[in-house]
Amino acid sequence: MSQKNRDSLLMGIHSVESALSRVPQQVLGITIAQECRNPRVLELAEKARETGITVVTEARAVVDRRCEEQRHQDVIADFDPANTGTEKDLGRLLKTIEGAPLVLILDGVQDPHNFGACLRTAEAAGVHLVVVPKDRSVGLTPVARRSASGAAEVLPILFVTNLARVLRQLKEHGIWLAGTADSSGQELYQADLSGPLGLVMGSEGKGMRRLTSELCDFHLRIPMQGSVSSLNVSVATGVCLYEVLRQRAGQ
């Protein structure tokens, strides 16, 4: 399966159900396994037919091959990822944001579960836009989409070829860039995160790249009380985003 086809295939009940409920116009077709007896899957198929979406049945072995043996719960959907774009879409998307923009920048998250979990939290916390380097990200694989629990189908996500250039463009639009770094002298809860903000999270293990870090307006760290030196990137993203949400709610 090509990368493009992988990134536009939804697998599993939750992913397909979320897309049908929230962006049915982007669901191109649904396939269910002939052997399926799960009432939830059969209900999804009926809902899709009522919406005018084509539903076909295939032997489970055929569905397995399309999914490269990944877990699919007998239902998959071909999906038009209209919510994704490139850096040329940045200006247009920023113009649609009401209030102070909140942008999440993921500088090279490689694990699909982490990537999906970051997207799930971002959508829940009210992030307006996610920016990801095209060549340093796992991409919207089926595993990432499943981990995102529907967020990957609705969040505006830009896959950019030059992250540094996009960071400069965000700054030109009045968005302050806050990078996360364990070495920062400023704790998360000491920083003012209530204004236009781009939260920059680094990759697993290595953190932000040097140029990415240099382009940040300030750095912050999550205070750690135990013996563990750092948090999983998806957990750290959640902690930071909900501090932003808390501060904005208090305005």
42 and 141 part of one domain: no
Looking at the structure, tell me whether residues 188 and 88 fall in a common domain: yes
Residue-number span of the structural domain to which 61 is assigned: 3-79
Question: What average pLDDT does the structure give for the chain?
Answer: 91
Query: Which of 63, 79, 95 finishes a domain?
Result: 79
Backbone conformation region of residue 234, classed left if phi is above 0, alpha if psi is from -120 to 50, else beta: alpha
Question: Does residue 203 sit in the same domain as residue 157?
Answer: yes
The most distant pair of C-alpha atoms in the chain lies apart, rounded to whole Å, by 59
Which carries the bigger pLDDT value, residue 107 or residue 205? 107
Global confidence as pTM: 0.88
Burial (CB count within 10 angstroms: exposed 0-12, middle 13-18, buried 19+), residue 180: buried
Does residue 111 sit in the same domain as residue 205? yes
137 in the same domain as 226:
yes
Domains of the chain: total: 2
CA gap 209, 58 in Å, rounded: 45
pLDDT of 196 strictly over 70? yes
> What's the confidence (pLDDT) of residue 251?
61
Q: Which of 186, 141, 184, 180 is nearest to 159 (CA)?
A: 141
Residues, the chain: 251
Same domain, 56 and 97: no
Q: What CATH code is carried by the domain that includes residue 102?
A: 3.40.1280.10
- Residues 116-169 have pLDDT tens digits of 999 999 999 999 999 999 987 888 888 898 889 889 988 999 999 999 999 999
Q: Do 197 and 244 sit in the same domain of this protein? A: yes
* Residue that finishes a domain, picked among 59, 79, 99: 79
**What integer is the mean pLDDT of 82-87?**
92
Q: Domain boundary at 79, 97, 114, which? A: 79
